[in-house]
Every structure is written in structure tokens, then in C-alpha cells.
A and B are shown apart, each in its own frame.
Chain A
Amino acid sequence: MKIEFLSYNLILMTIFTLAKVEAFETSSTVWKLLRNGRCFVDEFVEEVKRDKNLRQEWLEIIATIHDAASGKLLPQKRYRKLTLAKSFVFQAFEAKSFSLRLYLITEHNIGKILVCGGRKKNQIKDIERLKRITKEYSHFKN
């Protein structure tokens, strides 16, 4: 299942697509955000796949996303709300394991949207990326 949002820039056309994550049957639907067909979450998953040690951590993150999408309270060490700029229209969250981070936003009437992921050591850079992509998504959607 895919939802496409077409928007026009003066020079470039950007297409945002939401692809449903089928592994979950939760009260809130979980989506992956694609920008011009590129999915940052999938790219991150590919990176995780290459390192067998990260497999268990990734499973922890998936379990956390499952609970979050089921509207359940989670420990701060596993899932925390990100405090971003006031102009930021979405609520942003970080799902955590020891060395991995997965960034997502919640959108009313849509659900949880997974935006990008990364290593703990690149956290600041990845949060900036989350802000940039989400701002663009919000801007073009409106």
C-alpha cells in the first residue's frame, strides 16, 4: 500500500511516498518515508544487515516501534520524544538500542512515519537530517 504526495518546487519536483510496513499489526499504522523513491530507512537497514552484531539490536528497535505504534508507554532509554524547534510541525521520536537509532515522526490520521536511522555516534548529524527531510515533507505537503 502506498500513498503519494506530489509537490512542485520552482525547479525540481519532489515526490514523497509512504510505504506501509507490513510486519506490524498495530493500532497505529507504521510507514516508511520515501523521498523521490529513496528510502533512508531501507538504506539504514541494508547497513545493519552487513553487520551481524547489529541484528539483535535491530530486533530490539523493531519491538520498540511495535509497542510505540500500539500506543504503549515505553522506557525513556528505549524511546524518547525529541525536542526540536517550535516551528517543527510533527512530533519527532527516537527509538534506541545500545548503538543504533531510528528516527520517526507521528502524523495525525496517518500514523508513525519512519524517516531515517543511524548509529549513536552520528546522532547529531542524523537528527539534523531528520529535521531537514521532515521540514521538506511538511512544506511540500502543505
Chain B
Amino acid sequence: MMFTQEELFESPTYLLTIYQNEIFREVHGYMQAKGMTQKELAKKLRVSDAYVSQILNGKFNFTLKKLIELGLAIGKIPKIKFVPQTPVTGKQKQINTVAKKKNADQKMSKPTNGNIAK
């Protein structure tokens, strides 16, 4: 497919599309739940129909302030969290699993040691 998973996570276009799709789902879900039309949402947001249309086409690429306003208009707060760029690849998962197992083993061994000490 031309790109590895690591390369995809380094691409602003890939990530932008993923987030635009997410914004579409939130807005679409809200409109469905409220039985709201595109026009009605535009009126509520005090924006043009074209603006809402852009969101529903998965093309939201406005300012951070607009994103917050949009979130508030649909009764939600966008939460922004920065995570390390390295995606959870199979290799990473394996490392995590090993680390978890190690932690679990340590936890298991602690009470035993404690009992011995007593």
C-alpha cells in the first residue's frame, strides 16, 4: 500500500483525514439524535450552510477556536491529548505484553515475599 504504519503516523494528511472523519461522526451523530437538518445546525452555529456542509463532507479544517465552538454547539468538549508519535505496532504490543507480564509477576511475588518475611 506504499506506506508502513509508522509512515502513516508521520503523515499530517493521514492524521487530518482521520480527525476530519471523527468530527463528521460527532456532528452527524448529534444531528441524527436531535433530528436536525444541516440548515438548522448552521443556524445554531451562526455559520453558513456551506460551513456545515464542509464538516459533513469530512473536510473540517478550521481554527482550534472553531473546533471548540463546534464541540460546545453539539454539547461536547473536544479533548486534545498529545501522545508519542510511535504507533502501537505489533512489536510495540509485544514489548508491552512482556512488560505487563513482568509487572504482574512482580505483583504476584510481592505478597509471597511478604509472607515469608512474616
Contacts and interface: CB of A to CB of B under 8 A. Distances in A.
Contacts, number: 69
B16 to A, nearest CB: 8
A21 B3 CA distance: 10
Interface string A54-68: 001011101110110
B63 to A, nearest CB: 21
Given A59-B11, A73-B28, A67 B21 contact: yes
Interface string B58-85: 1100000000000000000000000000
Interface string A62-95: 1110110000111111100000000000000000
Nearest to A78: B58
Interface residues of A, number: 26
A59 B5 contact: no
B1 A21 contact: yes
B5 A25 contact: yes
Interface string B94-110: 00000000000000000
- Give the contact-size bracket for chain B: 20 to 34
B8 A23 contact: yes
A48 interface: yes
Interface of B: 1-5, 8, 11, 13-15, 17-18, 21, 24-25, 28, 56-59, 88-90
Given A23-B1, A78-B21, 17 more contacts: A24-B5, A25-B88, A25-B89, A56-B13, A60-B13, A60-B14, A62-B3, A63-B13, A63-B15, A63-B21, A64-B17, A72-B25, A74-B21, A75-B24, A75-B56, A77-B57, A78-B57
